[in-house]
Amino acid sequence: MAVNVVTAGQMRELDRRATEEYGIPSLLLMENAGLQAVLELERVFPLLTQRHVAIVCGKGNNGGDGFVVARHLFNREIAVKVLLLARRADVKGDARTNLEIIQKCGIPIYEVTTSQALEARRGAIEEADVVVDAILGTGTTGPAKGLFVEAIELLNQSGRPIVALDIPSGLNSDEGSIPGPSINADLTVTFGLPKRCVILYPAASYAGRVVTVDIGLPRPLLTDPILNVSLVETRDVVGALPRRDPNAHKGTYGHALIVAGSPGKTGAAAMCAFSTLRIGAGLVTLALPESLNDAMEAKLTEVMTEPLPETGERTVAFAALDRVLELAKGKRVVAIGPGLSIHPETAELVRAFLNTAKAQIVVDADGINALGPNLEMLRNLALPPILTPHPGELARLLGIDRDEIVRNRIPIAQKVATSFGVYLILKGARTLIASPDGRVAINITGNAGMATGGTGDVLTGLIAGLLAQGVDADVAAKAAVYLHGVAGDLAAEAVGQEAMVASDLMAQIPEAIRQLKSHDPAQKPEIHQWA
């Protein structure tokens, strides 16, 4: 079952349907959420019975979850105090029901409605061993204000471990940006399905370790096709690598054409070509400017090279078009762009090639830059192309500010993919794979050590290598991004994030493949968690 990632509105709709269509009381959903949070607290803090817990609650449903947590901790004979950032009379609905229950239990509840009252209760926070954030939930829009900001800052400055319920207070549930002061949690227990803000950076850096817990929503709701944003998990891509036939020959696993390279950027071409082989392609031809050919022949002993006519600046010339089209015949995939340069004549070649190519195309780096404002041409390709921009490249392509891309990564990726009929791999922390049908997959493998030159060229090679073997474009894109991240994680373990270079990642591709192939697809974790 895919793990879908939801907006606040989608989650509210799932809750509503659970109640109206399945007859599950909303009070029961709140009860389940609070109980599951307590079970996770016990897992993370095994000596919880010897600790003091402070729970800071708002007046809404997130606060109601906090009241449930308080009751279950109290029932376990754990010392607990509740700070309510509102008047008791202002708490309504299911939250009020749970507030009245803990009042009857005799759990200490302190109304905190002013800055002075918050300062007076500072000790309850500083004396606690664990603090639970139940201030603002998914219904909040815009930055936190007033007393909420003061409470958030107090918790962040307390030095206590903070456990956020559903999302860290202050974040916008639907975005990866940070709208204002927000809880910097050590652990976030999110209910039912993960929310976008605990997945997408930079907001995800405030969530700490994230655990998604089951609150009893019916499975048909959790897997409703209307939820079109999901996580890439191991079991989603475990079958991506074709079985190696004992009777195979080098032609069995496809022939990829790579059009890449220019003076000073031969490394991009080399890493892309070699990664294409590393993932299992049978044959790879690297087509590049003729004056660079001898060096690449010596460097890439397993890759065939093809010298192309070049410009005065030694980039691929437009005169190479006929030869590139000839080389593309019979190839399942052509990857174009790594280190290709932004020379006007070379860019013209890229556009002309795309207009007539019949193979599956992967467009990266300078290939993307060559498109300029001519995205409409992508609709006419024989097969939906795969584009692999980072936010800066996509911003230039769309003529918008890079910060806008970062703030709205999912909706922009969806719009580009559906409007132009492409697979869009938007690179970065938590790379997105957007499909022409509007579905988006979020990859959670990888680390900051991969923010170094050349890693994107390796990714392009992995995609091309899988496509060469006949893997479906959708699966190839997800599997390549996933394996790329796993290889990056292995490289970080081996040499450290600071010392990583792209060749370290490339060296770990075989182990990443081995780990993927050894995964048991029947294995289903009880909970979904990630750092």
What DSSP assignment string belongs to 125-156?
HHT-SEEEEES--TT--S---HHHHHHHHHHH
pLDDT at 197: 96
pLDDT in tens, 411-468: 999 999 999 999 999 999 999 999 999 999 999 999 999 999 999 999 999 999 999 9
**Percent of the chain, pLDDT > 90?**
90
Structure token digits, residue 183: 């809880």
User: Which of the four pLDDT bands, split at 50, 70 and 90, describes residue 337?
Assistant: very high
DSSP symbol at 469: T
Q: Give the strand order in the sheet containing 187-191.
A: 109-111, 79-84, 52-57, 130-134, 162-165, 187-191, 209-213, 528-530
Helix axes 455-468, 266-278, angle to 10 degrees: 40
Mean pLDDT of 175-181: 93
CA atoms in the 13 A half-sphere facing the CB of 218: 16
The identity of residue 310, as a single letter, is E
pLDDT at 524: 52
Residue pair 381/361 in contact by the 8 Å Cβ criterion: yes
Per-residue pLDDT at 529 exceeds 80: no
pLDDT at 525: 47
| Direct distance between the N- and C-terminal alpha carbons of the chain, in angstroms, rounded to an integer | 21
User: Which of the four pLDDT bands, split at 50, 70 and 90, describes residue 528?
Assistant: low
**Percent of the chain, pLDDT > 70?**
98
DSSP symbol at 449: G
Q: In whole numbers, what is the pLDDT of the chain averaged over residues? A: 95
**Location of structure tokens 């290709």:** 340
Q: Bridge-partner residues for 226, per DSSP?
A: none
Per-residue pLDDT at 527 exceeds 50: no
Q: Where in the chain is the domain with CATH 3.40.50.10260?
A: 8-224
pLDDT at 51: 87
Q: Where in the chain is the domain with CATH 3.40.1190.20?
A: 235-240+255-521
pLDDT at 526: 43
CATH class of 8-224: alpha beta
Residue pair 139/8 in contact by the 8 Å Cβ criterion: yes
> Which of the pair, 129 or 139, is modelled with greater confidence?
129
User: Which of the four pLDDT bands, split at 50, 70 and 90, describes residue 249?
Assistant: confident
User: Which of the four pLDDT bands, split at 50, 70 and 90, describes residue 398?
Assistant: very high
As to burial, measured by CB atoms within 10 angstroms (0-12 exposed, 13-18 middle, 19+ buried), residue 421 is middle
As to burial, measured by CB atoms within 10 angstroms (0-12 exposed, 13-18 middle, 19+ buried), residue 37 is buried
Per-residue pLDDT at 47 exceeds 90: no
Per-residue pLDDT at 530 exceeds 60: no
> Which of the pair, 529 or 461, is modelled with greater confidence?
461
Residues 6+ apart with CB under 8 A from 329: none
Per-residue pLDDT at 477 exceeds 90: yes
User: Which of the four pLDDT bands, split at 50, 70 and 90, describes residue 1?
Assistant: low
Residues 6+ apart with CB under 8 A from 149: 170, 180, 181
Q: What is the CATH number of domain 235-240+255-521?
A: 3.40.1190.20
Per-residue pLDDT at 11 exceeds 60: yes
Residue pair 192/212 in contact by the 8 Å Cβ criterion: yes
Mean pLDDT of 395-404: 93
